[in-house]
Amino acid sequence: MKKMLVLAAFALAACGVGGGPQTQSLHVENGWATPTPGGVNVSAGYVTLVNDSDTADALIAANSTRAANVDLHEMNMSGAIMQMRSVASVQVPAHGSVTLEPGGTHLMFNGVATPFAEGERIPVQLTFEHAGVVSVDLPVSRAAPEHQH
């Protein structure tokens, strides 16, 4: 029981609420996810990945208890047609950041069993090549929430 409480505290610390010493070389800011449209079981998630280390890193996987799987997707226009394709990784330069945002790279939640409703938070685990697993909670919102910084 004690162990579970410690894990819960860690998850809260990792989602960027409050200050405190930064122990992880990679952190996530300004995350959010879109509500699932009626009758559709997919959603997109957006985050800013900030690399505080001297080593370039890469987001290589994502998963959530709320989706059958979470893909890394890239979006581009082919004429008037919006196309999405999977990418193997998202690079995060040393002492740099990368923003996943609408119209570009995003997290794709596939197989969402329980619709994402506005106001709730979606737990997501992001796996990085060097930093390992970073847990975040993405608030569900129709548009990007105001920046927290």
Footprint of Cu ion (CB under 5 A)? 73, 84, 108
Distance CA 44, CA 130 (A): 25
Nearer to Cu ion, 47 or 108 (CB): 108
Nearer to Cu ion, 66 or 73 (CB): 73
Nearer to Cu ion, 27 or 106 (CB): 106
Whether the Cβ atoms of residue 140 and residue 146 lie closer than 8 Å to each other: no
To Cu ion, the closest distance from the beta carbon of 54 in angstroms equals 32
To Cu ion, the closest distance from the beta carbon of 37 in angstroms equals 13
Nearer to Cu ion, 27 or 73 (CB): 73
Point out the residue whose Cβ comes nearest to Cu ion: 73
CB count, 10 Å around CB of 83? 11
Residue 101, judged by CB atoms within 10 A of its CB (0-12, 13-18, 19+), counts as middle
To Cu ion, the closest distance from the beta carbon of 123 in angstroms equals 19
Strand partners, 75: 84
Nearest residue to 58 via CA among 72, 46, 45, 69 = 72
To Cu ion, the closest distance from the beta carbon of 108 in angstroms equals 4
To Cu ion, the closest distance from the beta carbon of 20 in angstroms equals 34
DSSP string, 61-93: EEE-TTSSEEEEEEEEEETTEEEEEE-S-EEE-
Nearer to Cu ion, 14 or 90 (CB): 90
The letter for the amino acid at 128 is F
